[in-house]
Amino acid sequence: MIQRRPLLLGALAMPGIARAQAYPTRSISFLIPFAPGGGTDIIARALQPTLQDELGQALAMENRPGASGTLAVGQLARARPDGYTMLMTTVSASAVVPPLLNPPPFDIHRDQTPVVLAGTVPLVGVVPASSPVRDFDGFLAHARANPGTLNYSSSGVATQQHLAAELLSAQAGLRMTHVPFRGTGQAVTEILAGRIDIAFDTLPTYLPHIRAGRVRAIAVTMPRRVEWLPDVPTVAEKGFPGFDANVWYMVMGPPGLPEAITARWVAGVNRGLNDRGVRARISEAGFLPGGGTQADAAALLRRDAERYANVIRQAAIKLD
């Protein structure tokens, strides 16, 4: 009997292995935790054709905004680990916001499976074309001369847009009003209309509007200037050394996602990011292409969850 147990266990495992090898046999729900028009939507749809080709099935793109992106991640956490519900997530929705909710909607390490990094983007500070602010120094002077009267937008409380603005406010001694929206698309509409004074948001979201002159870029949030806006200074070089805020986008699966299915998605995303046409479209939109292994993605989630927990404590950011 002792000699036969491994054979029995192997036989019991075979159906699961067979299912993973046959995957996928039908369309896949690909969740996007914010409204259309934001960076998450842009990169997910840029990779969609290559992923569909790699997997041999349609990806049904589903925008599920709400609760700073955590509604969609919570839906993923409850999904069957069969690869038919997947997610394009962000650092805020999967690493920053959940621990701030009471109770947390899911455990950021136990209830999701990091699959592969899709891309990273800097944030860019933009003001409406009608704004009296012409540059970053002018913004600081304007905000300090009008304490408490300027507002800034984000796609939700404790998202990277919120954190970047609050970090700057703390370091520069500014007082501004936070206006959170259910997604970046709504925030864009409001700043184009001149009803939002400033936004620190993802470069891909605002790059077309910057190029068209509908908004004015005044600073970027990564330590070095970016190739898309070489004449726009960094926050760090304007008197705030070490200032660094960015957003990463990552494919996530449900908890317990089989390794074979994870590997299919890692291969598909890497293939897409190595395709010259896809890579050019992503770079043109303002993304730094990601890629790498599942282990790389898991390490990034752990590292930034800890890093931003420290930022939130220091800035005393709380959910209402």
Q: State whether 140 and 217 are in the same domain.
A: yes
- Here the CATH number for the domain that contains residue 150 is 3.40.190.10
> Residue 26 is encoded by which pair of tokens?
């039908």
Q: State whether 158 and 68 are in the same domain.
A: no
Q: Is residue 15 part of a domain?
A: no
Strand partners, 126: 199, 217
The confidence score (pLDDT) of residue 318 equals: 78
The confidence score (pLDDT) of residue 87 equals: 98
**pLDDT tens figures, 251-307:** 999 999 999 999 999 999 999 999 999 999 888 888 999 999 999 999 999 999 998
What is this structure's pTM?
0.79
The confidence score (pLDDT) of residue 20 equals: 57
Closest to 38 (Cα-Cα) out of 234, 247, 222: 247
Compute the distance between CA of residue 279 and CA of residue 158 in angstroms, rounded to an integer: 30
| Residues of the chain where predicted confidence (pLDDT) is lower than 70 | 1-21, 320
Compute the distance between CA of residue 94 and CA of residue 302 in angstroms, rounded to an integer: 11
Long-range CB contacts (within 8 A, 24+) of 43-49: 43/88, 43/118, 43/119, 43/204, 43/249, 43/282, 43/285, 43/287, 44/88, 44/118, 44/249, 46/272, 46/278, 46/281, 46/282, 46/285, 47/118, 47/268, 47/269, 47/272, 47/273, 47/278, 49/278
Residue with the two structure tokens 């959910």? 319
Q: State whether 170 and 268 are in the same domain.
A: no
**Are the CB atoms for 316 and 169 separated by under 8 Å?**
no
Q: State whether 140 and 87 are in the same domain.
A: no
Q: State whether 276 and 228 are in the same domain.
A: no
Structural domain harbouring 287: 27-119+247-315
The sign of the CA dihedral 171, 174, 178, 179 is negative
The confidence score (pLDDT) of residue 18 equals: 52
Q: Is residue 10 part of a domain?
A: no
**Among the three residues 171, 205, 238, which one is the final residue of a domain in this structure?**
238
The confidence score (pLDDT) of residue 4 equals: 42
> Residue 11 is encoded by which pair of tokens?
């036989």
Q: State whether 99 and 192 are in the same domain.
A: no
The confidence score (pLDDT) of residue 320 equals: 61
**Are the CB atoms for 75 and 64 separated by under 8 Å?**
yes
Q: Looking at the 3D structure of the chain, how many domains does it have?
A: 2
